[in-house]
């Protein structure tokens, strides 16, 4: 049994979570692949339990420059989903997404880049949650995107604060995407609400 804050997860439950996040990321990877016409691969999904203070380290270091998109989701299950790219990846993705676009000035360019990334996040988060909704035959709705571009530690501390209200440990459901064709690195992390875990396990047939 793996225990976090008095909730024990059995091996079967952890496997179920890995399968779900793998599926979600695979759908997102397919969407991204279609958008930029490159092969996108999903790395082995990780379910890690770590003290909150160690989370930035686990995700690449608190000083890593990233662009992050944060969403809340509601419906039969609730929670949050966070997608982030290293800054270089975000810049590269923007190039693909705004191909051949010309800008009249730097500030317009920045606004359009931000919009493009928010929209990308929207598409990827929707794909991820649609995969889960289909798998579980339920309804899930997504919030508008919240965008941040800064050091990883500062960007994720909002999520760590949410977790810290209940426990000193974070359950990280994390998948990484990459491409053999271009240098991109992206993470998908989902934070289901505590009550939603029960619903997930019941739904897939394990109690």
Partner 1 sequence: MTTKEDGKTLPVEIADFKVAKNSAVLETTSLGSCVGIVLYDPVNKIGGLAHILLPDSSISKAQTSSPAKFADTGIRAMIEEMIKLGGQKNCFRAKIAGGANMFESVLPDPCMAIGERNVEAVKKVLAEEKIPIVGEDTGKNYGRTLIFYIETGKVIVKSAQYGTKEI
Q: Smallest distance, Å, CB 100 to partner 1?
A: 26
Residue 68 β-bridge partners: 84, 148
Q: Smallest distance, Å, CB 158 to partner 1?
A: 5
Interface ranges with partner 1 (CB under 8 A): 5, 52-53, 56, 62-63, 65, 70, 114, 118, 144-148, 150-158, 160-161, 164-168
Find how far residue 143's CA is from the centre of its chain. Answer: 14
Instruction: Report the chain's terminal Cα–Cα distance, integer Å.
Output: 14
Rounded Cα gap, residues 150 and 45, in angstroms = 25
Task: Please identify, using beta-carbon distances, which residue of 93 and 117 lies nearer to partner 1.
Answer: 117
Q: Smallest distance, Å, CB 52 to partner 1?
A: 6
Task: Please identify, using beta-carbon distances, which residue of 34 and 110 lies nearer to partner 1.
Answer: 110
DSSP labels, 6-64: TEEE-HHHHHHHHHHHHHHHHHHHHHHHHHHTS--EEPPPEEEEEEGGGHHHHTT-TT-
Task: Please identify, using beta-carbon distances, which residue of 147 and 201 lies nearer to partner 1.
Answer: 147
Q: With H, G, I as helix, E, B as strand and everything else as coil, classify residue 194.
A: helix
Q: Smallest distance, Å, CB 59 to partner 1?
A: 11
Task: Please identify, using beta-carbon distances, which residue of 154 and 206 lies nearer to partner 1.
Answer: 154
């Amino acid at each position: 049994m793996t225990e976090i804050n008095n909730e024990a997860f059995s091996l079967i439950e952890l496997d179920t979570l890995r399968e779900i996040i793998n599926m979600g990321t695979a759908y997102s990877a397919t969407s991204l692949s279609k958008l930029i016409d490159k092969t996108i691969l999903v790395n082995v999904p990780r379910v890690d339990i770590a003290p909150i203070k160690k989370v930035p380290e686990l995700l690449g270091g608190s000083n890593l420059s990233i662009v992050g998109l944060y969403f809340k989701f509601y419906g039969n299950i609730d929670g949050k989903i966070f997608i982030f790219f290293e800054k270089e990846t975000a810049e590269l993705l923007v190039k693909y997404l705004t191909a051949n676009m010309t800008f009249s000035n730097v500030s317009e360019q920045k606004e359009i880049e931000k919009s493009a990334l928010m929209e990308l996040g929207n598409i990827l988060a929707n794909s991820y949650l649609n995969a889960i909704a289909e798998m579980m035959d339920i309804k899930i709705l997504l919030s508008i995107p919240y965008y941040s571009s800064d050091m990883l530690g500062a960007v994720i501390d909002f999520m760590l604060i949410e977790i810290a209200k209940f426990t000193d440990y974070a359950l990280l459901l994390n998948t990484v995407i990459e491409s053999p064709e271009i240098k991109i690195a992206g993470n998908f992390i989902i934070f289901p609400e505590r009550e939603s875990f029960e619903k997930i396990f019941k739904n897939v047939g394990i109690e």
